[in-house]
């Protein structure tokens, strides 16, 4: 079968001295689902950007339906029938949902595409959007925005749909609906190149899967080759080596590694300070956290007075002596205004000669 999309020995990157992709070759036949899996930073999204014209490769070429499209602008590829559903939202948040759906048709200008007919057909496929046509796209939830993204691609009736991380950030229920839309697109005859972090689901949906590691295709094959111990195969293809626990070690990670000099291993770090040193009040850090480090819900309380470090170590601080020399238990005697307008006598005991201006 002749491939609809051919990525042949492509080397590409975002700067002149770093190659993200190195000799990548991927083919997508008509009406099939091809999966692309790999670790974060392996280059999966770069493959998508190269295929749809956002990134021009340094070496290699990209063919679509037998014609070379390397370096062609993205809006021209849209008219040829290539659509991209990116990882992040591509909707205009201040435009209505209906305007976002009709906007790609103005740029595509493909023969036989009527805006009204395409909208009616899309609403039959996604009836939940009908009640949101007048709402701003930015006011929708994450799952609703993802539905509008798929509906916008469905409006164009593309021959090839590139889908990048469609289930990221969605609940398992909404993610299940997203994978159902992908299967429906394939049943309608679209060719799909799918990237998603859910490796098991990508392998389940795809007829053929590519494994990308550090910008290179390290493994590929049909769905039958992924049957059996999928975890072990994926770990091997992605270059993951899991440290297994030692026998009888109670589930630990094995004996500690020794240093290069052959000496004993480094001692473990000292334990954190006891909770009492942070204060025992319910308003402090110790009162707001429960075991596990999660904040405990409850009524807000006033934070108690925090004693200085010396008081926490040596006990309470003795009260200071008053400046007037009176003992702490003796109450201060109030001053009385003298009737003499020139001076004011104090209410001190007999023998006191202290005079001065009367205080109010």
* Intra-chain end-to-end CA distance of the chain, in Å: 106
Integer angstrom CA distances of residue 133 from 83, 122, 130, 320: 22, 12, 6, 74
Contacts of 189 (CB under 8 A, 6+ apart): 30, 31
In contact, 193 and 160? CB cutoff 8 Å? yes
Query: What pLDDT, on a 0 to 100 scale, did the predictor assign at position 79?
Result: 85
pLDDT tens string for the chain (360 positions)?
A: 678 999 999 999 998 889 999 999 999 999 999 999 988 889 999 999 999 989 999 999 999 999 999 988 888 888 888 999 999 889 999 999 999 998 888 766 655 567 788 888 899 999 999 889 999 999 999 999 999 999 999 988 899 999 999 999 889 999 999 999 999 999 999 999 999 999 889 999 999 999 999 999 998 999 888 776 667 766 676 566 555 444 444 444 444 344 344 455 566 667 665 544 444 433 333 333 334 444 444 444 445 555 555 555 555 555 565 555 555 555 555 566 555 544 444 444 444 444 444 454
CA 127 to chain centre: 29
Give the global pTM. Answer: 0.65
Question: What is the distance between the alpha carbons of residues 210 and 7, in angstroms, rounded to a whole number?
Answer: 12
Q: What is the signed CA dihedral for 48, 53, 54, 60, rounded to 10 degrees?
A: 70
Q: What pLDDT was estimated at residue 75?
A: 84
Whole-angstrom Cα distance, residue 169 to residue 283? Answer: 35
Burial class of residue 352 (count of CB atoms within 10 Å of its CB; 0-12, 13-18, 19+): exposed
């Amino acid at each position: 079968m002749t491939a609809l999309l051919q990525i042949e020995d492509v080397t590409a990157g975002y700067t002149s001295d770093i190659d993200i992709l190195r000799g990548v070759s991927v083919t997508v036949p008509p009406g099939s689902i091809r999966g692309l899996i790999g670790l974060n930073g392996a280059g999966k999204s770069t493959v998508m950007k190269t295929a749809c014209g956002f990134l021009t490769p340094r070496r290699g070429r990209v063919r679509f339906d037998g014609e070379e499209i390397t370096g062609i602008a993205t809006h021209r590829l849209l008219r040829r029938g290539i659509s991209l559903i990116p990882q992040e939202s591509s909707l205009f948040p201040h435009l209505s949902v209906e305007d976002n759906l009709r906007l790609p048709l103005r740029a595509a200008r493909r023969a036989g595409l009527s805006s009204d007919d395409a909208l009616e057909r899309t609403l039959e496929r996604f009836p939940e959007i009908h009640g949101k046509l007048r709402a701003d796209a930015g006011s929708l939830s994450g799952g609703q925005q993802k539905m509008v993204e798929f509906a916008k691609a469905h409006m164009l009736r593309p021959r090839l749909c590139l889908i990048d991380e469609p289930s990221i950030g969605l609940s398992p229920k909404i993610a299940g609906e997203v994978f159902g839309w992908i299967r429906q697109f394939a049943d309608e005859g679209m060719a799909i190149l799918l990237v998603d972090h859910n490796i098991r689901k990508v392998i389940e949906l795809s007829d053929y899967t590519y494994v990308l590691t550090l910008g290179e295709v390290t493994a590929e094959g049909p769905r039958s080759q992924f049957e059996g111990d999928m975890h072990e195969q994926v770990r091997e293809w992605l270059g993951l080596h899991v440290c297994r626990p030692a026998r009888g070690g109670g589930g630990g990670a094995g004996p500690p590694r020794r240093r290069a000099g052959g000496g004993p291993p480094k001692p473990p770090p000292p334990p954190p300070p006891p909770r009492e040193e942070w204060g025992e009040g319910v308003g402090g850090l110790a009162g707001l956290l429960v075991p596990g480090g999660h904040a405990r819900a409850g009524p807000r309380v006033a934070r108690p007075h925090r004693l200085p470090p010396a008081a926490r170590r040596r006990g309470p601080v003795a009260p200071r002596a008053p400046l007037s020399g009176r003992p702490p238990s003796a109450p201060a005697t109030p001053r009385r205004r003298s009737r003499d307008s020139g001076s004011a006598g104090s209410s001190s005991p007999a023998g006191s000669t202290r005079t001065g201006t009367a205080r109010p």
